[in-house]
Amino acid sequence: MEQRKISRAVISRLPRYYRYLGDLLEAGVERISSNDLSKKMQVTASQIRQDLNNFGGFGQQGYGYNVKYLYTEIGKILGLDKTHNFIIIGAGNLGQALANYAAFERSGFILKSLFDVNPRFEGVAIRGIPVRMMDELVDFLKENEIEIAALTIPKSKAVEVADILVENGIKAIWNFAHTDLDLPDDVVVESVHLSDSLMTLSYNVSQRREGLTEDEE
């Protein structure tokens, strides 16, 4: 596949394209014009054309996009045509929520184990996937090819655990801890800061409350 430099802004929109195209596919839609996709996604048609042009040749003027082809190609770009083994550190509610989300597996993310310090999880399995104790982590990483670790632990432990993961070959961290992680450049970190999201919501609610309108651009 041709590789060129794609801007972060475009990349950040790809999962959303992928989601909409997946919905269209499920609904049996075979082709869609950039105008129709534009209405659905509430993005301008010209933005859609520009974004998808980055990958070349998916659309034909006046004929629209082939939904399945575009879905598959964007999937490849996102790395979803390969499998990614992952583990979850923290078997609390959030860790279990992630473990129970079967759609991840359909996208190639294979959960191999959860880990926790709490002995009440000893011997527990979630969807058949065992929770192991944290003192088994390093050996487990040595014996298994794990690429991604999701961190659903408190911020007080996150930095220390992230360092152990990276020392033992983890190349990507999906971070739910309430802190940023400062890791070597070759480690990918994707953070989901739930409280940042709630504060953005709170800001917007407060603005509405005060009767200030916000322009949607």
Binding site for a second copy (CB under 8 A): 3, 8, 11-12, 14-16, 18-19, 23, 41-42, 77-80, 82, 84, 92-94, 96-98, 100-101, 103-104, 107-109, 147-148, 171-172, 174, 178-180, 182, 185-186, 188, 190, 192-210, 212, 216-217
Minimum distance, C-beta of residue 17 to a second copy, in the bound complex (Å): 10
| 135 versus 217: smaller Cβ distance to a second copy | 217
| 60 versus 204: smaller Cβ distance to a second copy | 204
- Residue pair 24/32 in contact by the 8 Å Cβ criterion: yes
Minimum distance, C-beta of residue 61 to a second copy, in the bound complex (Å): 28
| 11 versus 138: smaller Cβ distance to a second copy | 11
| 60 versus 201: smaller Cβ distance to a second copy | 201
Cα separation of 111 and 133, whole Å? 16
For the stretch 104-111, contacts whose Cβ atoms lie closer than 8 Å and that sit 24 or more positions apart, written own/partner, are: 107/80, 108/79, 108/80, 108/81, 108/82, 108/83, 108/84, 109/83, 109/84, 109/148, 110/83, 110/84, 110/85, 110/86, 111/86, 111/87
Minimum distance, C-beta of residue 202 to a second copy, in the bound complex (Å): 4
Cα separation of 16 and 22, whole Å? 10
